[in-house]
Amino acid sequence: MVNVRLVAMVLGFKLGAKVVTKSLFSLPALLRSQAIFKELICGTQRLGRFPVSTRILSDSFTVGHRPYLCGMEIKNPQTSQEAMTLENVHGAHNYHPLPVVLDRGEGVYVWDIEGKQYFDFLSAYSAVNQGHCHPRIVNAMTEQAQKLTLTSRAFFNSNLGKYEQFVTSFFGYDKVLPMNTGAEAVETAIKIARKWAYDIKGVPANQAKIITCSENFHGRTTTIVSFSTDGVATGGFGPYTPGFEVIPYNDLTALKAALEDPNVAGFLVEPIQGEAGVNTPDDDYIVQAHALCKAANVLFIADEVQTGIARTGALLATCGKCTCAGACERQPTFAKADVLILGKALSGGAYPVSAVLADNEIMGVIHPGQHGSTFGGNPVAAEVGIAALLVIDEEHLAQNARTMGERFREAMEQLASESDLIVKARGRGLLNAIIINDSPESSTAWDLCVAMKDNGLLAKPTHGNIIRFAPPLVITEDQMEACISIIRDTVLGFKRA
């Protein structure tokens, strides 16, 4: 079909240019040229498939004085349907969200545009561990936002050093390299490991290798998808970055064999594979893998973007099944990563804050100009990061995740024994999943999530037939019992399509 909008625009430019040339000598002609130009461009808006709305709403404002906006109104959608249509029409289709439009959140609850309340059992993929809009985090963010938001790292700022001292003490490292998103932090860790391999370990130039695991998820950048084993993540995005070897997850024999290569710089691993469906390895896997890396002089790089910051019932999932009552006690189950990657809940979901932590002999390989980000370590992020971690500590969220998680898994195991819809439940702390008794290609898990949504609880399938459950860690016993009832009733009353 001829693109009407394009034709009209080309015509508009041609005509506009002609009249503008003439109008160098005539003001009335110039004014006429603008009118013609605007009419043509705006006319194309009306000819388009999705006409600009003309509804006047109290919370809208018009920006029509700019020719390319042509009287368009910026307004808040008034219904969920309206909001979904806007996203569908104007946004890239790189996600497939559940049909619910969230408008407000507080603690474990979120509300849609129509005011229906839900329990959030995804927590923005474990970013909102501290609960939605935690007042302490929001205050830290808004107070700092009114004072100074961004300096770039071209200058010092009065917040960053304080945050760096706090976050390194909190996790027990010499240094932190602040970034924004999880994927950026993973990229940072990869660069640090490669640089360490050349500068310290003595790997020949461009030979450094990083070992990763099958079914990993570390983000979506070109380098990161280069070592993904998920065809959807990789398909159509080659050529891929070299220098990675993929071994099976939870396989110490495979790791031992891979570590024999003297050019290995690091082993990049998720202590529990969240995106893969809360793939929970043997209890001693992380400790043993850490020991193998130490023996081979290879950096043990833990991606705790999803598992970290109390989600699994310990401050870090590399703490294993710890029983710390308060602050991290460094129990025998703890494997201190050489390079620790954090993101998501480092801000409680308020702001993009990520970090890579390491001791001096490793972080020291990075010099000015070799890595950075305009927003990394900005004053708002620094204040948000401190507040988010204080909430974790002072509200004992690791301990709450541990006890609530035990109750949740017990209930899910009971449900699995009653319903042939569930194969099993797995997870640690409040990072859990149920495996649905159907193929990954089936719509059963999706349909079940839609039914749970209708009953007031939000969760999302991962890898087709697995449903992850990861509520905010501030969930109370009563709220947990209410959620278990919703899941039970939905599963037991569910009819397959």
Q: Contact positions toward ligand PLP, by CB under 6 A?
A: 125, 181-183, 186, 217-219, 270, 274-275, 303, 305-306, 343
Cβ proximity to ligand PLP, 458 vs 480, nearer residue: 458
Beta sheet of 457-458, edge-to-edge order = 102-106, 109-112, 117-120, 457-458
Write down the catalytic residue from 195, 209, 344, 453.
Answer: 344
217 is known as an active-site residue: yes
Smallest distance from ligand PLP to CB 128, Å: 13
Tell me, letter by letter, the H, E, C secondary structure of 304-330.
CCCCCCCCCCCCCHHHCCCCCCCCCCC
- Helix (H) / strand (E) containing 178: strand 175-179
DSSP 346: G
Cβ proximity to ligand PLP, 219 vs 472, nearer residue: 219
Question: Residue 239: is the preceding peptide bond cis (ω within 30°)?
Answer: yes
Smallest distance from ligand PLP to CB 39, Å: 44
Cβ proximity to ligand PLP, 467 vs 480, nearer residue: 467
Smallest distance from ligand PLP to CB 275, Å: 5
Please return the burial class of 349, using the count of CB atoms within 10 Å of its CB with bins 0-12, 13-18 and 19+: buried
Tokens of 72: 């368009």
Cβ proximity to ligand PLP, 223 vs 490, nearer residue: 223
The answer to whether 78 and 103 have CB atoms below 8 angstroms apart is no
CA distance linking residue 44 with residue 48, whole number of Å: 6
Cβ proximity to ligand PLP, 219 vs 313, nearer residue: 219
Smallest distance from ligand PLP to CB 370, Å: 21
Cβ proximity to ligand PLP, 203 vs 473, nearer residue: 473
Tokens of 347: 């801000």
Smallest distance from ligand PLP to CB 117, Å: 26
Write down the catalytic residue from 119, 121, 217, 267.
Answer: 217
Strands 264-269 and 299-303: parallel
Smallest distance from ligand PLP to CB 273, Å: 8
CA distance linking residue 125 with residue 411, whole number of Å: 22
Range 408-414 contact pairs with CB under 8 angstroms and sequence separation of 24 or more: 408/432, 408/469, 408/480, 408/484, 411/484, 411/487, 411/488, 412/469, 412/487
Cβ proximity to ligand PLP, 182 vs 313, nearer residue: 182
Please return the burial class of 114, using the count of CB atoms within 10 Å of its CB with bins 0-12, 13-18 and 19+: exposed
Tokens of 2: 């001829």
Smallest distance from ligand PLP to CB 217, Å: 5
The SS3 call for residue 338 is: coil
Q: Give φ, ψ of 273 to 5 degrees.
A: -85, 100
Cβ proximity to ligand PLP, 168 vs 228, nearer residue: 228
CA distance linking residue 172 with residue 162, whole number of Å: 15
Write down the catalytic residue from 303, 375, 408, 460.
Answer: 303
What is the full DSSP assignment across 204-265? PTT--EEEEETT----SSHHHHTT---HHHHTT-PSPPPSEEEE-TT-HHHHHHHTTSTTEE
Question: Could you give the residue numbers annotated as active site?
Answer: 217, 303, 344
